[in-house]
Amino acid sequence: MTYIRGCFYTMELNELQIQRREKLVRLRELGINPYPAKPYDVNASAADIKENYENDKLNYKDISFAGRIMSIRIMGKAAFAVLQDSTDRMQIYVNRDEVCPGEDKTLYNEVFKKLLDIGDIIGVKGYVFTTQTGEISIHVSSFTLLSKALNPLPLPKEKDGEIFDAFTDPEMRYRMRYVDLIVNRQQKDIFIKRTKTFNSMRQFLNDKGYMEVETPVLQPIPGGAAARPFITHHNALDTQLYLRIANELYLKRLIVGGFDAVYEFSKDFRNEGMDRTHNPEFTIMELYVAYKDYYWMMDTTEEMLRKLAIDVTGDEQVPFGEVVLDFGKPFERISIMDAIKKYGNVDVNGMDEDTLRQTCKKNNIHADEKMGVGKMIDELFGELVEHHLIQPTFIIDYPIEMSPLTKIHRDKPGLTERFELIINGKEIANCYSELNDPIDQRERFTEQMRLSEKGDDEAMFIDQDFLRALEYGMPPTAGIGIGMDRLVMLLTNQQSIQEVLFFPQMRPERWD
């Protein structure tokens, strides 16, 4: 426990943290509230000043600006500092006799010179000018402390042109994203592009007249996907509930109810592993359009992703790592069976469960007795094929065992009308010509229950209410789910999903 001038702190403090808390006490002794409640009116941003000042100097004679102190250079009776707002950084010039026109120079000599630190947020009023070195700056006539920072920022240091001691440790950056966004300004661009991606997609769908909706996050049955759910308990109802693994079955209920096209950006949750492309909490966009099929959805998906690439990056060709992803040309379309044969040199057509299990083992792929035909084909595809598919590719026509919610193919027995969009070796989207035959759907659910009884903890539950809804009649429908986090990774050239999530899931910190 640390005691600082009338206040006990239960946590251990380092010397810099102690110094800042002592400054906090001194500020209050001087009658300065380090966290004032009164709003501070801002009429200019750093980006606005830098972009427009030279062409419109008269409009910058009386400005009010606020930002975080990122550097201070004290030079006797004058000082330069750099403030960072949400748009950019701006240099300010402070002269003692101008901010303290009377006899009392405390505001400059003690407050500005001694009690302000890097990380503090201040507001300044004054006018914009250009220094002798040609840097656009703010000449300060008054300043106000808006928030005292008690922890020092981990600002990078530079020596002989080399940057060192920077805030680059991934775990610390993800855990303290608020600090990451302050000191690594390029990170903010990723999240701005994330918002642009969502806005562009929403505009595309709205322009077509589709309706955005909301469906339950807490569900009595975790339906719509093959995944392990998170389980919770509702005390008032005294019942077990699940965090949704997908919103598919609720959106289909709306199609049954008479909406022709609905979509939702939803947070889904899957109690599974974590890696560079998986987070237990993720965002997906699901779209369902009546009287369409998966062929139509392929064309629509190409059109939409082409728009997103242009809106977010400015081009149909998007750099990603060492490759350039081309969203401008038609996406390749190949069946999953042909893809396994082409890239894995394995023909799985007609293989029964035992033969598939032996084929998996021959290719050093785990396949135990709990796994059915669909699961093993999926494993073969994942190990032998996915990493070859860099450019946008539709993998189509999945076996019926892999697609319990998908309509049987109109021309190919044993297959379904389904595609997955693979880009850079990862699934980005999954689409069906939706199964709307309630008898067939009940049989598919029953087969999933058999897999569950064998020990497959990702097999689907039987949703009796959804089956009842189908019995009232659902029109032919095309549905797609697009993984928004992975899509943002592609459009921002990020190799890890944690880089495109503000607050990725992490092991809890220990504070003792």
- pLDDT tens profile 380-416: 999 999 999 999 999 999 988 888 889 999 999 989 9
Cβ of 56: how many Cβ atoms within 10 Å?
Answer: 9
d(CA 202, CA 197): 9
Task: Give the sheet arrangement for strand 218-219, strand by strand.
Answer: 218-219, 239-243, 231-234
Q: Where are the alpha helices (DSSP H) in 56-134?
A: 96-99, 106
pLDDT value for 447: 82
Beta partners for 13? none
DSSP H or E stretch at residue 418: strand 418-423
Strand 63-75 versus strand 317-320 pairing type: unpaired
CATH 2.40.50.140 residue ranges for the chain: 2-153
pLDDT at 1 over 60: no
Contact, 312 vs 197, CB < 8 A?
yes
Q: Determine whether domain 2-153 maps to CATH 2.60.40.10.
A: no
Which runs of consecutive H residues, i.e. helices, occur in 239-317? 248-256, 294-313
The single-letter DSSP state of residue 58 is: G
Of the ranges 52-66, 76-90, 161-175, 343-357, which one carries the lowest mean pLDDT score? 161-175
Contact 232, 271 (CB under 8 A): no
Q: Report the pLDDT averaged over residues 59-88.
A: 97
Backbone angles phi, psi at 256, to 5 degrees: -60, -40
Radius of gyration from C-alpha coordinates of the chain? 29
pLDDT at 278 over 90: yes
Both structure tokens of 345: 């040199």
Name the residue type at position 59.
N
Q: What is the pLDDT of residues 417-441, one digit of tens each?
A: 999 999 999 999 999 999 999 999 9
Average the pLDDT over 55-78 and give the result: 96
pLDDT tens readout for residues 463-511: 999 999 999 999 999 999 999 999 999 999 999 999 999 999 999 988 7
Cβ-based neighbour number of residue 421 at 10 Å: 25
Per-residue DSSP letter, 111: I
Averaged pLDDT, 113-134 = 97
Portion of the chain with pLDDT greater than 90, in percent? 83
Say whether 429 sits in a helix, a strand or coil: strand
Q: Residue 3: CA atoms inside 13 Å, Cβ hemisphere, count?
A: 2
- Report pLDDT digits (tens) over 160-213: 767 667 899 999 999 999 999 999 999 999 999 999 999 999 999 999 999 999
Range(s) for CATH 3.30.930.10 in the chain?
186-331+391-500
C-alpha 235/C-alpha 218 separation (Å) is: 13
Mean pLDDT value across residues 375-380: 91
Neighbours of 469 (CB within 10 A): 20
The two three-digit tokens of residue 273, written as one number: 């592993």
Given a contact cutoff of 8 angstroms between Cβ atoms, the answer to whether 434 and 407 are in contact is yes
Helices (H), 142-230: 170-175, 177-183, 186-207
Structure tokens at 50: 């830098």
Query: Could you write out the three-class secondary structure of 118-141?
Result: CCCEEEEEEEEEECCCCCEEEEEE
Is 186-331+391-500 assigned to CATH 3.30.450.40?
Answer: no
For residue 9, pLDDT beyond 80: no
- What is the model's pLDDT at position 455? 67
Mean pLDDT of the chain: 93
Show the tokens assigned to 69: 């102190």
